[in-house]
Amino acid sequence: MRLRNIPGAGEVIDNSPYCIKEPVELKGKWHDFLGNNNPIHIEVGMGKGRFLMDLARLHPEINYIGIERYTSVLLRAVQKMQEDELPNVHFLCIDAATLPDIFDRNEVDRIYLNFSDPWPKDRHARRRLTSSEFLARYDLFLAPDGRIEFKTDNQDLFTFSLEEIESSDKWHLDASTRDLHHDAAMNEGNIMTEYEEKFSAVGNPICKLIASR
């Protein structure tokens, strides 16, 4: 997907107090930086940040870190934060492949993956955020009792994700559904993303899985 470049987006992000500039320097020191020992939850590919901010309002006792690689998208989240000023939210403008360079072993308690790029061509499968390559990366910094929560409307990507988890010797599928909004147990307390609202409004069923080790 081609994203429109927004002039000045990088400068706004660089000057935002919510965007961490040198996150590699915080590896193993995140709780010191955040000033508390609260759990750390991250959303990889957070888009405009509404999901993360809604969670942060509901759970001030949790630290939320949003990861978004595109400045033109992250800019929208920064603009929202200038209005809301949630103290338990921070942003990183990085490629998700570098996450093990930023978080130390057991430093993250939960990973959210929402409507990730499906990378539909087979030769790009390793770039999918639920691929075995990325599962191996998450294993390097997710706490022993941590978990991954993944949502998508893309049935092929969901099937791929289930297969990657089920074929892993480390990961376990805790729960899954191909119709989240009609699954009373899994939909309880569900926070919708912008994409989730858009896709469900046109009749696309939402898939969700929860995985742990």
Confidence of residue 83 (pLDDT cuts 50, 70, 90): confident
Higher pLDDT, 153 or 71: 153
The pLDDT of residue 72 is above 90: no
Give pLDDT tens digits for 37-68: 999 999 999 988 999 999 999 999 999 999 99
Predicted TM-score (pTM) of the model is 0.94
* Annotated catalytic residue, options 32, 84, 117, 145: 117
Would you say 121 is a known binding-site residue? yes
Homologous superfamily (CATH) for 40-212: Vaccinia Virus protein VP39 (3.40.50.150)
The pLDDT of residue 16 is above 90: no
Share of the chain above pLDDT 70, in %: 97
Would you say 68 is a known binding-site residue? yes
Q: State both tokens at 108.
A: 């993250």
Active site residue 117: yes
Q: Count of alpha carbons within 13 Å of 31, Cβ hemisphere only?
A: 13
* Average per-residue pLDDT for the chain: 94
Give the type of residue at 37.
N
Would you say 193 is a known binding-site residue? yes
Whole-angstrom distance, CA of residue 56 vs CA of residue 35: 16
Q: What residue segments make up the domains of the chain, in order of their start? A: 40-212
